[in-house]
Structure 1
Amino acid sequence: MTQLRNTIRSLAMVALTVTALTPAAPLYGNADEEAAALIAPTPYEARYEARARGLSTDAYRNLVQTDTNVYQLGHGLSLRVLGANLITVTETSHFYWIDSGAVPVSYSYEQSGLRRRQEQISFDWEQQRASVVRNDRETDTAIYPGLLDNLSFTAQMSSQLNANADLLDVGTTLEYQILDGTEPETQVYRVAARETVETLAGALDTVLVERVREPDSDRSTRIWLAIDHEFVLAKLEQVEDGDTTELLLSAMTMGDVSLSQSE
């Protein structure tokens, strides 16, 4: 039973790792006025295989444009064994897109099965406050321009890499302010390499980005982003306490481009 709980926890961590205010007002901006405008991401649908502790299941990630400059990014997975729901995770971010990138409006995370967890965040940029509800406990916290959530920051990262080839140089660092839980935190990522990754949908030219953690941390997060497909997630590897959990792309549709798993 302990091993099963750890497997469920590992799959939930993948969902957390991987795992929409009027754009005219300067209050909502988060970039230097002289910086080049970031192009809004192209909507897409991607499927993945999630692996942890000898078990595997399907996962998905999709980006949908719901209105002018308004987007919804979703991520999730579900694992059933002998008809029983061991874990289902659904994660969603709504955000506006302005010249400086994503401006989150709401974020939600729901986990059900043997372990349950819920989190909802509502961003009020006029009041510069956010309401965070975790398992029915509500907290109010201050927010500031440039703050992102656990999903919208991935759209921001992909757009930045797509807009500026210089960011692909090995050693480049990318820093994000993310409202993770009830308090903002700084997450730093470093470009580690350019690699060809064999996914279930074929070989992809990728940039490997690693999260920068403390030297004594027992966790590592490595993200491979597809260079020729607007830096959509191609592969993710999370290691914690010696256990590895992985997401691997199996299919993707973006505009007229489709990738699929070979039969």
Structure 2
Amino acid sequence: MTRLKRITLSLLTGATLAASCWLPQAIAANDAAAPNQFRNIYKSSVYGMTVTVTHELIPLDDNRHKLRFFADSLVASIEEVSIFSSPEDQLLQPQLYTYDRSGLGRDREARVTFDWEKRKVVNDINDNPWKMNVPLGTQDKVSFQIQLQRDLIAGKTENLAYTIADGGKIKEYQFAIVGNERLKTPLGQIDTVKIKRTRKDSDRITYAWMAPKYSYLLVRMQQEEDGDVYTINIDEAEIDGKKISSFN
């Protein structure tokens, strides 16, 4: 794979890894509430080629939501979708997760269907299905973002680890506080909390900058791997039907 293809694919893939939320105890907002819907757009550039990322939460019926992440460029695109329910006083329950990657000669489709009565998931990758047992509380690769956000709103700041059904395996995603930082963005300056996700079996490091003032909106994401750095920045934001034209 050429360097351009590798960087583009890493940026597209990395964009879906840090759209999560973090709020340290020092600035916890007691009156904060999780948004019922949002639509945010991020942009980056790879060798002059624009990469656009759309991150949106859409309310459905029966206390369900659809979370969608779509990263797109001239040469490739990746879409991840999670449909989940929100049982009262319980962890989110994913129902369906889909993944669709096209371009760069690496097309791939995946579908994960959750059966909570049997505590199983059916993984179907490129029309090759198989079943796997999962413990209660297991999230898919994007639903954990909303669960993490709700945990932080509830004041949980330690042991933020999530069991994920990922690639036919059960994995654990862990996060750590880095600090606070004021960022300059296309929408103005904003105070953020910087978080870090590390992996035991990889040199890849992902950072995310969240804005507590705006329901812990993801403002910037950065991924570092093998000496390369991939970054996306907020370009447009809308929360619960209200467009954010400026952070100032």
Give the TM-score normalised by structure 2: 0.86
Which residue of the other structure, out of 51, 59, 73, is the alignment partner of 1:57?
A: 51
Percent sequence identity over aligned pairs: 28
Of the candidates 210, 233, 242, which is equivalent to residue 225 of structure 1? 210
Q: Give the Cα separation in 1 of the matches to 2:233 and 2:77.
A: 18
CA contact (8 A) 1:91 1:108 kept: yes
Matches within 5 A, 1:155-170: 155-164=146-155, 167=157
SS where residue 213 of structure 2 aligns? helix
Change (3 A) 1:139 1:250: same
Q: Does 1:182 align with 2:168?
A: yes
Q: Which residue among 26, 42, 63 is the counterpart of 1:69?
A: 63
Over residues 175-212 of structure 1, what are the superposed CA-to-partner deviations in whole Å (9 max), with x where a residue is unaligned? 11011110110111012112222222222222111113
Distance 1:260 1:187, change over 3 A: same
C-alpha distance 119-160 of structure 1, shift in aligned 2 (>3 A): same
In structure 1, distance between residues paired with 2:46 and 2:164: 26
CA distance in 1, matches of 2:139, 2:228: 28
> Which of the residues 224, 227, 230 maps onto 1:245?
230
How far off its partner does 1:17 sit? 1.2
Q: Counterparts of 1:104-119 in structure 2 under 5 Å?
A: 104-114=94-104, 115-119=106-110
Partner of 1:209: 195
* Shift, 1:54, TM fit: 5.1
2:57 aligned partner, one-letter code: L
1:13 is aligned to 2:13: yes
1:8-35 per-position Cα deviation (integer Å, ceiling 9, x unaligned): 321232244147xxxxxxxxxxxxxxxx
Q: TM-score, normalised by structure 1?
A: 0.81
Higher relative contact order (CA 8 A, sep 6+): 2
The aligned residue for residue 234 of structure 1 is 219
The answer as to whether partners of 2:42 and 2:235 remain within 8 angstroms in 1 is yes
Q: Residues 48 and 58 of structure 1 are in contact (CA less than 8 Å); yes or no, is this contact kept in structure 2?
A: yes
Shift in Å at residue 3 of structure 1? 1.6
1:126-151, Cα deviation, whole Å (9 max, x unpaired)? 11110011122212100111100111
Q: Which runs of 5+ in 2 are unaligned?
A: 20-31
